[in-house]
Amino acid sequence: MSADQGRAGAAGGRGTGLFLWSLSLAQLVSWGILFYSIAVFFVPMREELGWSKAVVSGGITIGLVSSGIFAPWVGAQVDRGNAWPVLTGGSVLGSAAVLAWAFVETPLAFWAVCFAMGAAMACTLYEPGFAVLSRTLGDDAPRGILKMTLVGGFASTVFIPLAHALVEAIGWRQAVMVLAATNLLLPAAIHAVMLSPRVSPAPRAPQRLATADIPTRAAIADMRFWGLLVAFSAYNVAFTAMTFHFLPMLEERGVSRDAGVLLFTLIGPLQVAGRLLLFSRGGGIAARPVGRAIFAVAAPLFLLAVVAGADLRMLALFVAVYGVVNGISTVIRGTIVRDIFGARNYGAISGSMTMPTTFARAGGPAIGAMLWSLGQDYATMLAGLAAVSFLGAIAFWHATRHDAGG
């Protein structure tokens, strides 16, 4: 290789690095503003507007359903090379929706804002980000996805305290305005610049595919697709239900609120720790065996929560494993579709899977409440979630067992 070629390669590497870390920063801010910070505003909103919990939780559901509806279209657009207008437009839409949130006075207006925020999430969060990296980085895409989730994993750690501080300092409506401006200045600007044809790296063709590229329709007809769909839907139900019911569960067991909040806040850093564990192995991701291990751990994990009771040491163990498993599962979700079906139609295939799995995530809290009502305690809910997780483990094992569908 000539000196000129070496310099060109180094420059290309630096350019790709800037591209990756910039998009990762956009993920951190987008997740922090469009997803995590929402919870901080619920109590002051309800206090000012006199709304019920059902009104607010209905907004969450509407946003998640909206995100699922738009996911297949977004994935297909990224596959066609339209990441620049989709992600930039999604960031602008998210900023406008967050700004409109500052002026809501009625539940209908709030639900409309949540619908728009859901569409923005579909255009900006991990799934389209993963699709961009899969299209752009070739064989380095799994490592890039891991790095992106490492940065994005700090979204709750950064934005929940920031949103809380803003609410305390200037009130919730003004705080929402600040976040809307931040979303416009960072994710929207990053997407507008880094995804433009003049700046974005040229798509890099993979050289080491585990399987031939499969057309989208053929992938959806493949039993492996449906196995992954069942697996990640079950996972989303179980882990979203646990996330929303964690603090009420501890309250039912007599654990102090301070101890419960401390345990809950550890989940975010532990998710990053799980991803760092993968990164420490060189960034190479064996999606199938690692995914099988993660799914196999989930069912016993919920049974651990059943027997933990109010024992803080056992609860801390539960939180530690829960956080690590959740962190690694995001990386597996971003890489397993590419590993099985190839890179060419990653966005469309992954987006088709995202819609139903997002609906499962939206239904998780309600399903958790339904399971609780069967026995009027959280032990019943946890046993039910263990059963759901066991189903997910079987489905994932089936989806990753063979190299051919059918």
* Shared domain check, 226 and 176: no
- Nearest-Å Rg of the Cα atoms of the chain is 21
Nearest alpha carbon to residue 241 among 330, 149, 305, 293:
305
**Pair (190, 265) in one structural domain:** no
Average pLDDT over residues 278-306: 85
Q: Is 406 part of a structural domain of the chain?
A: no
Question: Is residue 43 domain-shared with residue 160, that is, in the same domain?
Answer: yes
Say how far apart CA 173 and CA 175 lie, in whole Å: 5
Within 8 A by CB and 6+ apart from 184, the residues are 91, 92, 95
Tell me, yes or no, whether 348 and 230 share the same domain: yes
186 with 264, same domain: the answer is: no
Place of tokens 């798509």: 203
Residue 207 lies in a domain: no
Kindly report the average pLDDT of the chain as a whole number.
86
pLDDT recorded at residue 53: 72
Q: Which is more confidently placed, 214 or 213?
A: 214
Average pLDDT over residues 345-353: 86
* pLDDT of the residue at 206: 58
How far, in Å, CA of 321 to CA of 337, rounded? Answer: 24
Q: What is the pTM of this model?
A: 0.78
Tell which of 161, 194, 227 closes a domain.
194
178 and 95 co-located in one domain: yes
**114 within domain boundaries:** yes
pLDDT band at 284, cuts 50/70/90? low
Structural domain contains residue 203: no
Distance (Å, whole) CA 300 – CA 275:
21
Do 20 and 157 fall within a single domain?
A: yes
304 within some domain: yes
CB atoms within 10 A of CB 100: 17
pLDDT of residue 370: 87
* Lookup: tokens for 301: 């994990």
CA dist 123 and 199 (Å) reads 20
| Whether residues 232 and 180 fall in one domain | no
- H helices present in 102-194, as ranges: 107-124, 126-137, 141-152, 155-170, 172-183, 189-194
Same domain, 297 and 387: yes
Quote the pLDDT of residue 404: 45
Residues 287 and 381 in one domain: yes
Residues 258 and 188 in one domain: no
pLDDT in tens, 312-348: 999 999 999 999 998 899 888 888 988 888 878 888 8
Same domain, 162 and 240: no
Domain assignment present for 211:
no
Nearest by Cα to 238 from 287, 302, 315: 302
Digit-coded pLDDT (tens) for 195-205: 998 888 877 65
Residue 205 belongs to some domain of the structure: no
Whether 327 is in a domain gets the answer yes
Q: At 279, which CATH number?
A: 1.20.1250.20
Q: Number of folded domains in the chain?
A: 2
Domain that holds residue 270: 216-399
